[in-house]
Chains A and B, each alone.
Chain A
């Protein structure tokens, strides 16, 4: 045991590496300033540095030993974390350190003698009297005039869209008496088809974020809109004279037709004014690459349903970009080998950093950027793209692989896709298009259309021009609509300094952020669920965005602010959007019915852009090839790869607790980003997990904690954007490291020539599943298509031995018997289910410190196991929620029967009966039960109360909770069916996780119903249960994961 006192001290030290918090950092205007970096829900968990910053020298990670160990293992090798595998000193030390954490528990600081005595009195009174406590009188407040469609106690659903990077994700929003509580996908919307991603799920929390800005402020002082309009009027009159020569508009990517029209009107009125767009994690590569390939602005969209072979070039096409959810659904629809006679597509992933798409790939190549470029050239050459030639220094095995893949592609002309990543350089996109053209995929699996964006442009170039002008002092009035350029603009442009030369700077945003700090005026923006607007999906389909609730605060939308600029401050968003559409030709004579239908459906029929022919411009391709050859040439040195974070994206979601606490798909880190290193690179640099290193790019430096990620390409460091915020709010402040500090306009996604120096300090990272190996237990069962065809039962072989023998006859389930099945082939670990569950079931967040202690509350977790060799390691995902065992070990041990079995096979958890002995959790072999160790639910913030699902109890501290199969939905369905005197239909009950899942990997239903989908799933030979040898008879089962590797590449 290490000395206690020392450890105790360390917890109070602040880690010097943490960016200092701006004095105004705590909460936005008008908010009680709470503990700065503590999430609004849950106990004050303190800044991420509340854990010991271990100052020992970093231990070494002996990876050669690891290789041997892996080599020695029989069969597929599954392992937990590199440290364990390596048995490094550090791991040993870590696990030997038995009693280091004498952590202060929240609220320590303000603990006076007086408070203590109060508490003592209160708590013992509680202990004594709670029994006899009577509930306080409650008020019922009926309407004055009740809206006809509202039936108190029944939710309503409204179609709308939540924007992601300017593009629309069509959703249906559940509303209880006017409070939006839950976001679901809109089945009619092309980008959703009924599913959502985690961002859409979490958007409702952002709406109710208590840190949102509430009033206009001028230099930090609270002001009224009228004051702002007065000042704006002055500036505008000045501009009229100059034809707006000094007026600049900076927005994020815009697809909204109405907004675009408004901006054009503004530009018409002020001819010399300019409009710039900048999206830090936008589709720059795709945009510019397409122009390079086709000569003008073109959007490519893919039809994966018709693709037999897919090659993803550094592309996480199932988790990134405006069409990710749709693509994931489409692609997985081609992998249902479990359905008799269905073929299975094949996916090759060539990538520098592990992605969700990579984990489902049949073949995955981890290549550093330079090598990747070389490989792409080789592939292109193989496919006969003019001018492309494999670089001489390309390792033979790689060119061999390229040849094989090219053959496979060529064998599927017109039925294959080569897709380049959202964040790949333009050249890669251009070449991908060229390859698709060569494969005759254009028009077949790859559809080319006009640009969906209102004004496609080279945003980096556009921003640079703006900065130049501002620095030149040519700008008098800068209006920033959304976005956060001060934080996320390329660092070499020095946007902030240039901006400060502008006499009047106005910023519109949901939150007071880094940018608003540097603006004269900050204007509160309305959330997408608060205002009328419109937006286009990835295929151009228009959705009318309708509000679910009156604006919570004194905010306006971008439409409103533009109206101000157009001197129509009184025009409402509703009028503006309607005006625009009334003027459109497609608005038929009967505008009202057109409008009502559009708003009701959530999609404007026939607005999808039509595919058009386009020829590949050889000049552009030649240029791309040339550039790629150059970059392929400079191979040596470490490359730094920037990626939007899997949970907080480019930083816009930094203050969203659900997303902060959502474990990243591969690292399972929460509340932080880290420099992801491949094992070999880490070994070479002599660093291990949680070591702080300094990344140096030119003269720019950044201290970052290291996380060793198997499957990361050697020589490539990945650093996710969106962290190191200083003005995000109480949740996001001070989490992680600001990658933008190293990101330049020249190298937005890949910076070469990075120097790394260990700092000899450590920074604790809260990882929910650092401890992950299968210990040779058959938890995730994987097979190849061939294997499945030869022996369909391969997945069950492991269970042959133990039949469930019991002395007692089992319980007979008449009526319904609820069950759930998860198709591991389809799961991409995208976390949509995790956040959906959190939103549906009022699951609190607990903060970094508590996660680090192993107290995260997620009812569904996605277990991640590594597979294969160390360097070409891939990951397996396995969603785990309560198994609702028919012989549930948790039930007999509960002394008060707080967890008991329902006649329909549900493992009921009765919160109000639970006394919190935690015996059930100890006895649960799946460890899916979650305990409220502290009062995790925020009962102070009024707005957060509005989000809570009224059909689910909000749990207090001291009791156990777990997945209920969304029993509230089951009960509603049962009651509806019974009142209508009919049986419950199959598919009538959809659990939150199932509903959100983009790949339809989850199905729920009645296993007594022989026709139900879930029964059909469970009937396939792939179906197996987790730890069935314990005799638990889980109701949740898994379909073994199938891969479809190319025989030619097997063993290669």
Chain B
């Protein structure tokens, strides 16, 4: 019961050649069989040598996270560089950064699905995985940034023996809901999407263990028309659920700052430009991941230039929105006539941390402009490098917003400087280790590209053109 034809009447019909300007979504010459073989082979055939090296490396970094967290719980927040006035630093920077990265996944899987963008099909699977893992890393920080993390349940609105509720007016409370919902929906979405492919793997697996494992996860998927129907319903519903999340989650995260009155935080522009920034960062990360992946597994046929170009365009668009956000911040500081706001901007540009601000502008505004050029968009290397810049830039953006705003606020008497300690860095890089470890496990044991959705974009499965 393997080869299940994708829904839709599959009547023979010659593949229309893609317009010359747009490279195809899939290199020509593929059939349903070849697609399935190629993708499931990654999972079902032996592990490549480099995988052990890569996973080992990222796992080592993950252990570094374990070490720093142990020290953290054993001694306290003091092992970090945080102080008064800079109460938040790497902890919340990393939180926002990771959450942001997650967004691309949801956007691709949800919104592009609703918009019927077939080009998403080859990247949505690992984009969703990326979302999931990014949220896992992000979710860690609100927990560990607390001085008494073991009291985290005080934040949960559960019946308790104190006769108390949490403070629902606090943006941090909203975070609790936003992030947990986000994690849950992303997980469901990802898993539901996986089911048909899990079934395929189940059927192709040689060892009994693999069969049982994949079979268990496939939840008895047989690919009957009813299954397909339910599947479509489920994924559409989840897409519907996820779509508002793309906007809501980072909006809520931005409230952590917008709802406070610190100069540099208290700004109405935050929600939109945080969301844009999130998608910006997310696509940068997708490129960062997909470029090496397609090479390593020879998936250039499935993740084609077309995908990379589209993502590049999204980056350019969102990048411009972000740049606009920066501009508005500066304008408002001048326009508001509020001396604290003005000083804040001045301090960003000329103060002790000004270099982070310049670097931020370079990474998030200037470098991105290169994407206007078709030649750049056509160069994989260039895209990869730009994506890297953006990853760094978005981290710097949060550094500027959080540290630079806090370290000099209203009373000059309480001004201070923030200097990260090695534990700050170990925690940060440690989460990258966590992310990569999960990522490598994922590409090793699950189909990183949606097999059946790829089949859908096979010329063979194209529905006939409706007459306009």
Contacts and interface: CB of A to CB of B under 8 A. Distances in A.
Interface residues of B, number: 68
A927 B409 contact: yes
A141 interface: no
Contact of A922 (B73, B260, B355, B423): B260
B207 interface: no
10 contacts: A8-B422, A96-B355, A101-B81, A123-B73, A131-B153, A889-B261, A897-B164, A922-B88, A926-B414, A927-B411
A775 interface: yes
Given A774-B412, A917-B172, A918-B88, A105 B419 contact: no
Contacts of B169: 892-893
Given A80-B412, A916-B146, A895 B78 contact: no
Given A853-B81, A1030-B410, A127 B73 contact: yes
A893 B260 contact: yes
Nearest to A916: B147
Interface in A913-928: 913-919, 921-923, 925-927
Interface in B112-170: 145-155, 164-167, 169-170
B460 to A, nearest CB: 54
A863 B262 CA distance: 21
A123 B74 contact: yes
Contacts of A931: 77, 84, 87, 147
B411 A779 contact: yes
A897 B166 contact: yes
B84 A921 contact: yes
B416 A893 contact: no
B304 interface: no
Q: Binding site of A, secondary structure by majority: helix, strand, loop or mixed?
A: loop
B77 A893 contact: no
A91 to B, nearest CB: 9
Contacts of A958: 76-77, 146-148
A769 B84 contact: no
A116 B69 CA distance: 12
B171 interface: yes
B421 to A, nearest CB: 5
Given A96-B352, A918-B87, A931-B87, A120 B70 contact: yes
Given A123-B70, A124-B70, A933-B78, A915 B154 contact: yes
B421 A103 contact: yes
Contacts, number: 232
Contacts of A913: 154, 164
Contacts of A927: 84-85, 409-411, 413-414
B166 A895 contact: yes
A105 B79 contact: yes
Contacts of A960: 147
Contact of B172 (A129, A919, A934): A919
B416 A771 contact: yes
Nearest to A935: B76
A418 B81 CA distance: 51
A887 to B, nearest CB: 10
Contacts of B170: 892-895, 919
Given A102-B421, A893-B172, A126 B150 contact: yes
B88 A98 contact: no
B411 A925 contact: yes
Nearest to B171: A893
A775 B84 CA distance: 20
Interface string B65-91: 011001111111111011111111000
B417 interface: yes
B76 A926 contact: no
Given A119-B71, A926-B410, 13 more contacts: A95-B417, A775-B412, A853-B81, A893-B172, A895-B154, A895-B170, A896-B155, A915-B154, A922-B260, A925-B409, A927-B84, A927-B85, A932-B76
A85 B423 CA distance: 34
Contact of B147 (A97, A889, A918, A925): A918
Contacts of B83: 853-855, 933
B150 A130 contact: yes
A659 interface: no
Quick one: which of A1, A8, A128, A931 has the most chain B CB within 10 A? A931
Given A779-B411, A916-B146, A923 B260 contact: yes
B332 interface: no
A777 interface: yes
Contacts of A766: none
Given A895-B166, A895-B173, A896-B166, A854 B77 contact: no
B298 interface: no
B406 interface: yes
Contacts of B85: 854, 921-922, 927
A896 B77 CA distance: 19
A106 interface: yes
Interface string A885-908: 000010011111100000000000
Contacts of A774: 412
A364 to B, nearest CB: 22
Contacts of B217: none
A772 interface: yes
In the A-B complex, the 3 residue pairs with the smallest Cβ-Cβ separation, listed nearest first, are A916-B147, A958-B147, A95-B352
Contacts of A929: 84
Contacts of A95: 351-352, 417
B323 interface: no
A106 B84 contact: no
B135 to A, nearest CB: 19
A916 B412 contact: no
Contact of A102 (B172, B176, B413, B422): B422
Contacts of A128: 150
Contacts of B146: 915-917, 958
B353 interface: yes
Nearest to B164: A897
A882 to B, nearest CB: 13
B167 A892 contact: yes
Interface string A267-306: 0000000000000000000000000000000000000000
Nearest to A774: B412
Contact of A957 (B76, B155, B167): B76
A223 interface: no
Nearest to A121: B70
Interface string A433-468: 000000000000000000000000000000000000
B110 to A, nearest CB: 28
A957 B78 CA distance: 9
Given A771-B413, A896-B154, A923-B261, A918 B75 contact: no
B69 to A, nearest CB: 8
A122 interface: yes
A773 interface: yes
A930 interface: yes
Interface in B399-427: 406, 409-417, 419-423
Contact of A106 (B75, B154, B351): B75
B378 interface: no
Contact of B410 (A122, A918, A935, A1027): A1027
Contacts of A119: 70-71, 74
Contacts of A933: 76-78, 82-83, 147
Contacts of B151: 130-131, 915
Interface in A84-134: 94-103, 105-107, 116, 119-120, 122-124, 126-131
Contacts of A935: 75-76
Given A95-B351, A923-B260, A880 B413 contact: yes
B36 to A, nearest CB: 44
Contacts of A779: 411-413
Contacts of B421: 101-103, 105
A893 B155 CA distance: 12
A307 B79 CA distance: 55
Contacts of B351: 95
A192 interface: no
Contacts of B147: 914-918, 931-933, 957-960
